[in-house]
Structure 1
Amino acid sequence: MSDRSFIRHVVFFSAKDPADVSRIRDGLSMLSQIPEARVFEVVENRRVDGLSSEVDVVVYAEFEDAEAHAAYKAHPIYQDCIDLVRPLRELRIAADF
Structure 2
Amino acid sequence: MIRHTVFFTARDPDDRDTIFAGLDILRANPHALKLHVGRNLQTDDIPGPQVDFVVYGEFADAAQMAAFKAHPLYAESIRIVRPLRDLRVSADVLIKDEGD
Q: Normalising to structure 2: TM-score of the pair? A: 0.88
Structure 1 position 79 matched with structure 2 position 75: yes
Q: Is the 8 A contact 1:47 1:53 kept in 2?
A: no
Further displaced range: 29-38 or 50-59: 50-59
| Percent of aligned positions that are identical | 49
Question: Partner amino acid for 2:88?
Answer: R
Q: Which runs of 5+ in 2 are unaligned?
A: 94-100
Q: CA deviation at 1:53?
A: 3.6
RMSD after superposition:
0.9
Q: Map 1:40-59 onto structure 2 (within 5 A).
A: 40-51=35-46, 52-59=48-55
After superposition, the C-alpha distances for 1:16-60 in whole angstroms (9 at most, x for unaligned) are 011111211111011111111111111000001122443000000
Q: Is the 8 A contact 2:42 2:50 kept in 1?
A: no
Q: Is the 8 A contact 1:7 1:63 kept in 2?
A: yes
- CA distance, structure 1, for counterparts of residue 50 and residue 12 of structure 2: 12
- Name the structure with the higher helix share: 1
Match of 1:15 among 10, 16, 24: 10
Which residue is equivalent to 1:30? Answer: 25
- CA distance, structure 2, for counterparts of residue 39 and residue 82 of structure 1: 19
Question: Partner amino acid for 2:85?
Answer: R
- CA distance, structure 2, for counterparts of residue 8 and residue 63 of structure 1: 7
Q: Normalising to structure 1: TM-score of the pair? A: 0.90
